[in-house]
Amino acid sequence: MEITKINDYIFKISNQKRQTNETDVSFEWFILRMDYSSAETDGLIYFDFLVRNQTFLKVHLPHYPNEAYENLSWSVNRMKRLSSAHNYFVLVKSEQTPSYIEKVNQSEPVFEFLKDKLTIGVCGGFTGGKTEFDLMEVGYALDEKFQSHGIVSNTLKFIIEKAFKEVSSLNLIKLVCNDYNVKSAAVGKRLGFTFNEEESEKASKEDNVALHCFTMTREEATKLFQL
């Protein structure tokens, strides 16, 4: 994985994947921090992603109401809650200009960047816990057509490393997914997360749905990553 910093809010990630014919194929994508632009612009980006992928997402995000795919205001309000230094949009270059761009204020610093990009997912985490920032829960959603390129694994790896480096009080990261979501569980295991039965039972009771919880401590991350 190769990471290129565009600025403090935008990064380009390149990943080489070995094909069955033993040739290396490079794939690149961009991640854009959600707090770089206004909640209104972030809402437009997110709403566009939801509408284009609603058939797939309704299966994997059953807790999202129908309003999420019908009303822009729902996405704007959600972006106001999600905006942070650890939440990112995932984008790829596109020959087509996104339909929402005409609604974006041209004075926004992200305007030119968005003109030739397609949003294919979201990835990141929320900080909280007993102290203000000792716990972070990570999650993601990715366009079905762009899976199996290492996008989620490599983006999460970048976010986890960055979070542990920048937030000294962060001690634990959790990844929670539905118990049937084999792909999400595989991502967690691939990154070095450990299945936590106690946290799984707790999360399942709180949300009244069967969930699996995987955890990674700072000590474990230090051994896995370059912290």
Phi, psi of 201 (to 5 degrees): -65, -40
Task: Give 199: exposed, middle or buried? Use CB within 10 Å, 0-12, 13-18, 19+.
Answer: middle
Mean pLDDT of all residues in 32-47: 94
Number of C-alpha atoms within 13 angstroms, CB side, residue 116?
4
**Which of the 8 DSSP states describes residue 169?**
T
Please tell me which residue, 215 or 134, carries the higher pLDDT value. 215
- The 10s digit of each residue's pLDDT in 46-99 is 999 999 999 999 988 888 999 999 999 999 999 988 888 899 999 999 999 999
Q: How big is the CA angle at 145 (ends 98 and 117), to the nearest 5 degrees?
A: 25
**pLDDT reported for residue 144:** 92
**pLDDT reported for residue 23:** 55
**pLDDT reported for residue 125:** 87
User: For the chain, what is the domain count?
Assistant: 1
**pLDDT reported for residue 84:** 82
Q: Domain containing 97 — which CATH number?
A: 3.40.630.30
% of the chain with per-residue pLDDT over 70: 93
Q: How many CB atoms lie within 10 A of CB 204?
A: 17
**pLDDT reported for residue 162:** 93
**Which of the 8 DSSP states describes residue 21?**
T
Mean pLDDT of all residues in 6-29: 79
- Classified as helix, coil or strand, 38 is coil
Average pLDDT over the chain, rounded to an integer: 90
**pLDDT reported for residue 26:** 78
Q: pLDDT at residue 126 above 70?
A: yes
Mean pLDDT of all residues in 166-172: 92
Which residue segment(s) compose the domain that 196 sits in? Answer: 2-224
User: What span, in angstroms and rounded, lies between the C-alpha atoms of 76 and 153?
Assistant: 27
User: Band of the pLDDT at 156, cuts 50, 70, 90?
Assistant: very high
- The 10s digit of each residue's pLDDT in 8-19 is 999 999 987 655
Q: pLDDT at residue 210 above 70?
A: yes
Tokens found for residue 223:
């051994």
Q: pLDDT at residue 20 above 90?
A: no
